Structure formats: structure tokens, C-alpha cells
Amino acid sequence: MSQSFISSCGAAPRRRTHNDSARQTIKKSVQEFSKTYSQLFTPLVFPARTDNVRAGMNKTVIEVQVRAVLPTSGGCAVFIGNNDKVFIIYVDQTVGSAITMFMRDITKERPLTHDLMAHLMTALGAKVERVIINDLKNATYYARAIIRAENELQQKKIIELDARPSDCIAIATQQKAPIYVSQEVWDEVDDMSDVLRKMEEEGLKPDPETESED
């Protein structure tokens, strides 16, 4: 089935000047975080795998994973990528916290927004099949969520929804669905692997005790 991949939003740096500023911001956040907040919240850092696939889509895409989530003064920096490249998408604190909880399988007392979305889809016989970060325009990322639905007569259909990359990442993480980046976006983003390596070298890794808590 031919599918088009258009919009959604989630701000991220695009120009070199912005990326230089982003590196300084992240570097400062890492330093401040490691000194001040290491006892309150540990950034998530995960191993990577890499795949270049078509996945039934009409564009070449690269499978990526959430490599790390780092709090910043304005929200959270989500490191997305694989062994070849890592880039950053900035999200608000609420979504960043949701991604963190889904990665750690933290049980919540009451359902939050993304939990409610998942419950609604389950009730309607739908599930996230994959998400694609498919475009980057004017320093804004765009994404699509591909939903597979089946009714009580076992009739199946594929639904493609416009969604913010931050929400796509959250629901994909929650439902263990693959995350893809289009080749065009992948080629355009700057590699931030050195920043992630710096985080790992400074020991900003998941705390087993923190992860085992509720």
C-alpha cells in the first residue's frame, strides 16, 4: 500500500548556529545535572541497533531507538538514533517524563494522557504499528503514526495519522512499536553522538535501583 508521509511538529535545531548552541546547552545541562540532580533523576541511556529498511513504505527509512532522555531547562532532550548517528528532538517536560516512564515500565496510579490514548485504541481494536519521523522543515520535525485497526468482523484497515514526533515517540515506546526516520531527515540532521558519548563517559546511565522502583 502506497503511503504518503507528511506533517507534525516538535522543535529541534536545524542550522549550524543552532546546533552549536544546542551542543553548548546540552553540555551545560549534563554538567549541571550530574552535579545537582543525579540523586533525583537519572537520564536513560540505551544500547542501539541499526537497520536500513523499507518496511512496506514508499520511502527508504532507518530504524532508530530512543538512546537517552535528558532534562533541560526548557523540557527534555530526547536522543534518537543508532550506532551510526544520533540526533536530538526537544520535547516538553510532560512528554519527556512519559517517555521515561514507558522506557522504565513504571506503573502509574492513574492513567496519564498517553495511557488513555492506548486504552482508547485497545478498546477500538487498534494498535500502533510503527511511527515515522518523515520530514524536517524550518527547524520543525514532522511525523506520522501508522495505526492498524480491526473491527468485530475482523475487517482490517491501516490508518495514518498526523502527530507530533514527541507523541509518536511516546506511544511507540509505550506499545513497543518501531520508530523510523526517513532517509531525507536522516541525511539532514547533524550527528550528536559525541554528546551522547560524553554523557556515557561521565556515567549518566540508568540507575538499576531507580528503574526497579514502582
Residue 22: per-residue pLDDT? 61
Set of cell numbers at residue 12: 529541534
Residue 117: per-residue pLDDT? 85
Pick left, alpha or beta for residue 205 (phi over 0 → left; psi -120 to 50 → alpha; otherwise beta): beta
CB atoms < 10 A from the CB of 173, how many? 23
Confidence of residue 4 (pLDDT cuts 50, 70, 90): very low
| Residues with Cβ within 8 Å of residue 47, at least 6 apart in sequence | none
Confidence of residue 123 (pLDDT cuts 50, 70, 90): confident
Question: What pTM value is reported for the model?
Answer: 0.67
Q: When comparing pLDDT for 182 and 209, which is higher? A: 182
Dihedral of the CA atoms 76, 32, 27, 49 (nearest 10)? Answer: -50
Distance CA 50, CA 86 (A): 11
Q: How far is CA 80 from CA 94, 124, 129, 133, 192, in A?
A: 18, 30, 19, 11, 9
Distance CA 166, CA 11 (A): 9
Lowest mean pLDDT among 26-30, 174-178, 191-195, 203-207: 203-207
Confidence of residue 30 (pLDDT cuts 50, 70, 90): low
8 Å CB contact between 199 and 30: yes
pLDDT in tens, 46-94: 444 444 444 445 579 999 999 999 988 889 999 999 999 999 999 999 9
Q: What percent of the chain has pLDDT over 70?
A: 66
| Structural Rg of the chain based on CA atoms | 17
CB atoms < 10 A from the CB of 102, how many? 21
pLDDT in tens, 96-116: 989 998 988 887 778 788 888
Tell whether the model's pLDDT for residue 36 goes beyond 60: no
Set of cell numbers at residue 5: 508521509
Confidence of residue 120 (pLDDT cuts 50, 70, 90): confident
Lowest mean pLDDT among 17-26, 35-44, 85-94: 35-44
